Amino acid sequence: MYRVVACFVLAACGSDSISVVEPGDNSDDGTPTNDDQSAQDNTEDTSEESKDSTQETETTDTDVVYVDTGTWSVVNVNAIDDPCGVGDFQDVTEMVPTSFDVVESDTTKFFLDDGTVCYADTGETHVCDTVYIQESALAGTATMDIESIMIADVLSGTQMDLTFDVLLASCEGAGCVMIELALEFPCPVTLTAEASN
């Protein structure tokens, strides 16, 4: 297109010679060419992409929360749901450990010293593996099968809010006759607590 336009303009002026400026050639007046403009645009695009990548990395690093390893103390235990009335017969806060040890952690999970793994569920909330416990009662004449799930809302590397979903699943042994007069299995209990390292 540039060659055709040049021919028409120069023919009208009666010029005997035709000088054609192809796209990308430098003009005599120092005006930037298309290639120069393209190179500048590419440089600006690369700079913007690099800036965006850096900002994304900084945001990600800031948002990551690692659970500190070591011994975590559990305090302020409260029963918030006890439909069977287990608390009428025993201290339900004893169903919650007074401490636990974190031996390893990363951005998606943390590991307890007993082999329990707590996986990230939503946001900073971690749901731990179900722990199965057998508890002796009535001088050993009854054994209660208990299931417990710890849910940790990680506030920081050293602070958590905890919820324990405890289920008294069943009872075995002669002494269960007395226990079953008071409790109907399975029997759920929900407790909350705070933990710090």
Domain segments of the chain: what residues?
2-63, 70-196
**8 A C-beta contact, residue 158 and residue 128:** no
Say if residue 49's pLDDT is above 90. Answer: no
User: Where residue 43 falls among pLDDT bands split at 50, 70, 90?
Assistant: low
Residue listed under structure tokens 């850096």: 54
Say if residue 161's pLDDT is above 50. Answer: yes
Output the pLDDT for position 122. Answer: 82
Say if residue 145's pLDDT is above 70. Answer: yes
What is the average pLDDT across 150-174? 96
What are the angstrom distances between the C-alpha of 145 and each of 33, 85, 180?
A: 82, 17, 13
Say if residue 27's pLDDT is above 90. Answer: no
95-121 pLDDT, tens digit each: 899 999 999 999 899 999 999 999 998
What is the average pLDDT across 52-56? 48
Residue 92: its H or E element: none
What is the average pLDDT across 31-37? 55
Instruction: Name the nearest CA neighbour of 190 among 107, 84, 112.
Output: 84
